Chain A
Amino acid sequence: EIVLTQSPGTLSLSPGERVTLSCRASQSVSSTFLAWYQQKPGQAPRLLIYGASSRATGIPDRFSGSGSGTDFTLTISGLEPEDFAVYYCQQYGSSPMYSFGQGTKLEIK
């Protein structure tokens, strides 16, 4: 069973700062099948990154994804006020068929 572990659990940052979020898999994950989502309170998740590094439609270029194998990162270069939210990584391919990390919460410092 593949477990995705995100770190840190919570980050307190100021607008304008650069942040890198980590997602580590317990077994190798194909880059094609690694995605990142943003979720704000009371809203559905929104796809940010698919295929580890491709931005979804309409996602600003301050969001970027990278990584391979067991280590993946989401970087936001210059936090905007609307970026404070919870971020989840997600994989497809192994038991369980689809799984999510536990999330990283970005909060305003």
Chain B
Amino acid sequence: QVQLVESGGGVVQPGRSLRLSCAASGFTFTSFAMHWVRQPPGKGLQWVAIISGDGRVAYYADSVKGRFTISRDNSKNTVFLQMNSLKTEDTAVYYCAKDAAGYGSFDFWGQGALVTVSS
């Protein structure tokens, strides 16, 4: 069965950096794009970034463009989110999600990693 397990969340000061990881299993990892989606406390869902199956193409939400970088290591079935120049408004639970190929949706989600940006 598909499993996505995030790690790397925590408390960080504004302006600092943090890297999230998402270990995937149960499917052919290289065949699917992967996403990061976040949810600020008590609020709705916000798409953050997508990376193609081969890792060559990535797109970002305007709110994180230039600060966040999505990458993947297909030898380890892991996707990453490098978050730099963090702002208080980046505080959220970050979910990694598997792309539902051909439908533009997210068919499996991890349990989430909480990132708190606070001084």
Residues of A within 8 A of B (CB): 32-33, 35, 37, 39, 43-47, 50-51, 56, 88, 90-93, 96-103
Q: B residues within 8 A CB of A44?
A: 95, 109-112
Number of residues from B at the complex interface, CB < 8 A: 23
A-B pair number, CB within 8 angstroms: 67
A88 and B44 contact, CB distance less than 8 A? yes
Question: How far is the CB of B42 from the nearest CB of chain A, in Å?
Answer: 11
A56 and B112 contact, CB distance less than 8 A? no
How far is it, in angstroms, between the C-alpha of A56 and the C-alpha of B97 when the chains are bound? 15
Which of the candidate stretches B24-32, B45-53, B67-75, B77-85 sits at the interface with the other chain?
Answer: B45-53
* A36 nearest in chain B by CB position: B105
The one of B35, B61, B62, B100 that contacts A50, using a Cβ cutoff of 8 Å: B100
A93 and B104 contact, CB distance less than 8 A? yes
